């Protein structure tokens, strides 16, 4: 199963994350299929960059986001767009 999840990067005490599509069996920081964005929790503003089209494409094909990535996608408006497309509103 493909999951949309965070891959930790950076250094000790200064993390940032890449939002990736990866096989659920691969390690957290291991092999991934595609990078779809970044998340920097240490910045105060503009901490997320996201390719919303790629995220929607992966979710339409059955990828499951983790809880944190689901929250990021929700704040970016991707889940609402996906819901509207699915139910035709």
Task: Please write down the HEC assignment for all residues of the chain.
Answer: CEEEEEEEEEECCEEEEEEEEEECCCCCCCCCCEEEEEECCCCCCCCEEECHHHHHHHHHCCCEECHHHHHHHHHHCHHHHHHHHHHCC
Sorted by where each starts, the structural domains of the chain and their CATH numbers stand as: 2-87 (3.30.1320.10)
**CA atoms 43, 44, 50, 55: torsion sign:** positive
Higher-pLDDT residue of 68 and 45 is: 68
pTM: 0.86
> What integer is the mean pLDDT of 34-54?
89
Percentage of the chain modeled with pLDDT above 70: 99
């Amino acid at each position: 199963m493909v999951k949309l999840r965070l891959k930790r990067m950076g250094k000790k005490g200064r993390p940032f994350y890449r939002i990736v599509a990866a096989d659920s069996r691969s390690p957290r920081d291991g092999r991934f299929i595609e990078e779809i964005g970044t998340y920097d929790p240490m910045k105060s503003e503009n901490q997320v960059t996201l390719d919303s089209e790629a995220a929607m494409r992966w979710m339409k094909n059955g990828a499951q986001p983790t809880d944190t990535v689901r929250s990021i996608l929700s704040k970016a408006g991707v889940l609402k767009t996906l819901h509207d497309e699915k139910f035709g509103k």
